[in-house]
Structure 1
């Protein structure tokens, strides 16, 4: 999204892109790992196939993996020497820890607002803005400029993250209720949360279509409007076929949300 012309595609750009990818791959290892360590008993009910819940991996091994992942995050950041990446990865690390760790004032996932804000701020805001500013200022040496792709990306991805935060708990109501996790799905029930999520995503697509219509470049306008219209229609069609009483059907729809999110990441650089 920080690309402004074809001349920006250079070897230093791709090298830095790989470094950014490596940082966040290790950060996601840490995020998922620490969540599983503190959720073993819950996952035995909700996700018994996971390594720790199933007993395939022991807690000591998992702790070693997430510790090594955290070290790699900050080792690569230190090697790069970028301020945006430093504060972005540090905030991501803090939010991930606060979300999962069962200590006083932490374990934010126990409360619906804390869980949603953790995911929205971490993925929707921090990840987007820190990597964009790294590329714009550190790699390309430009002044800070919040471009159209970044504005649309931050808003739309934040909505997606809100949906992920809400919907991920729909298949997990049984375990969450047993262990005192106050998810919105446990409070309102799966049907209401399901349709809240569908409506939020459709709103995101409508916003993207309107935003795309204001573009001064015809090719960008056409791609943005057409692609988001197709995705919105596909989402609505899929939502009509979901069986809310079938856990596998719900899990399939949850994975569709992630696929739509990654499709959005591919479209955002074309917004101009």
Structure 2
């Protein structure tokens, strides 16, 4: 295995798209809290810490999941031999150390959120992933908490609470659909995910109901005055994409969860546009 192949494998372990997405959500949390211009160094530290922590969490997840991935994802870095299990573990530790070093420079609330999240990232695969619904809920919390972390980095957490709840519900929906997609490998490894515990169709119904709740609640940030009218104009198509994804997941979970991810990205864009609309009236 060449150095270049190992480097690519290490990069793959981090899931670069997920790292960028989580870092962007942290930035949005700070932006919604109105602190990007006032606390640029704190925002930068929070964004980079998030990226490092997510990369570390993904790497350690692949370490613990290496046997399952031989069935579900044989092309991933560890199963195909690009990175050794020990190498993945050491790489994860290095990234976690970088995340901690940056997080401790932030306000106390942000440090507390970072501490909880780092413990959750380490504990997820080993203790929570195989528990029906609980592993999904933990991942949902972690995604939603990026908004809280970004806002806490600039000292104003309240505006991000609604975003945390909406993002967590949408993520919980996607995680359940992903478990339906991975049911064969999870069953082979003896995991007891929600689709295995209650059946695939019931799990998909739960996912769809959760998403409908999120869609119905999506106007709340506008109604509470956190965002301008532009938010509604962007979040409406995002809601439509996510509802379509939930419907498609009954026939094709792979397509459904992939489309849901795009809907979630569009919703994140709505948060940015909605906040900017308050500061730049021409966007309303």
TM-score range, shorter chain: 0.7 to 0.9
Aligned residue among 181, 187, 190 for 1:180: 190
Aligned partners of 1:116, 1:5: CA distance in 2, in Å? Answer: 27
Instruction: Tell whether the 8 Å contact from 2:245 to 2:257 is kept in structure 1 after alignment.
Output: no
Aligned partners of 1:36, 1:75: CA distance in 2, in Å? Answer: 23
TM-fit CA distance, 1:212: 5.2
Q: Does 1:129 align with 2:151?
A: no
Matches within 5 A, 1:81-120: 81-101=106-126, 107-120=127-140
Instruction: Tell whether the 8 Å contact from 2:241 to 2:260 is kept in structure 1 after alignment.
Output: no
Secondary structure of residue in 2 paired with 1:53 = coil
When residues 9 and 133 of structure 1 are mapped into structure 2, their CA distance, relative to the original with a 3 A threshold, is closer
Gaps of 5+ in 1: 102-106, 138-143
Instruction: Tell whether the 8 Å contact from 2:49 to 2:98 is kept in structure 1 after alignment.
Output: yes
When residues 153 and 189 of structure 1 are mapped into structure 2, their CA distance, relative to the original with a 3 A threshold, is same
TM-fit CA distance, 1:213: 6.0
Matches within 5 A, 1:85-234: 85-101=110-126, 107-124=127-144, 126-135=145-154, 137=155, 146-147=158-159, 150-209=160-219, 211=220, 214-215=223-224, 220=228, 222-234=229-241
When residues 18 and 256 of structure 1 are mapped into structure 2, their CA distance, relative to the original with a 3 A threshold, is farther
Gaps of 5+ in 2: 1-28, 279-284
When residues 213 and 95 of structure 1 are mapped into structure 2, their CA distance, relative to the original with a 3 A threshold, is closer
Aligned partners of 1:5, 1:153: CA distance in 2, in Å? Answer: 11
Aligned partners of 1:207, 1:234: CA distance in 2, in Å? Answer: 16
RMSD: 2.7
Secondary structure of residue in 2 paired with 1:194 = helix
TM-fit CA distance, 1:200: 1.9
State the match for 2:256 in structure 1: 253
Secondary structure of residue in 2 paired with 1:51 = coil
Secondary structure of residue in 2 paired with 1:112 = coil
Instruction: Tell whether the 8 Å contact from 1:46 to 1:171 is kept in structure 2 after alignment.
Output: no
Q: Does 1:263 align with 2:275?
A: no
TM-fit CA distance, 1:48: 1.3
TM-fit CA distance, 1:61: 1.6
Aligned partners of 2:106, 2:241: CA distance in 1, in Å? Answer: 42
Matches within 5 A, 1:3-152: 3=31, 10=37, 13-78=39-104, 80-101=105-126, 107-124=127-144, 126-135=145-154, 137=155, 146-147=158-159, 150-152=160-162
Secondary structure of residue in 1 paired with 2:192 = coil
State the match for 2:11 in structure 1: none
TM-fit CA distance, 1:42: 0.7
When residues 268 and 16 of structure 1 are mapped into structure 2, their CA distance, relative to the original with a 3 A threshold, is same
When residues 81 and 9 of structure 1 are mapped into structure 2, their CA distance, relative to the original with a 3 A threshold, is closer
Partner deviation per Cα, 1:221-262 (whole Å, 9 max, x = no partner): x33333333222233344555573xxxx53332222222222
TM-fit CA distance, 1:208: 1.3
Aligned partners of 2:72, 2:266: CA distance in 1, in Å? Answer: 28
TM-score by length of 1: 0.79
TM-score by length of 2: 0.76
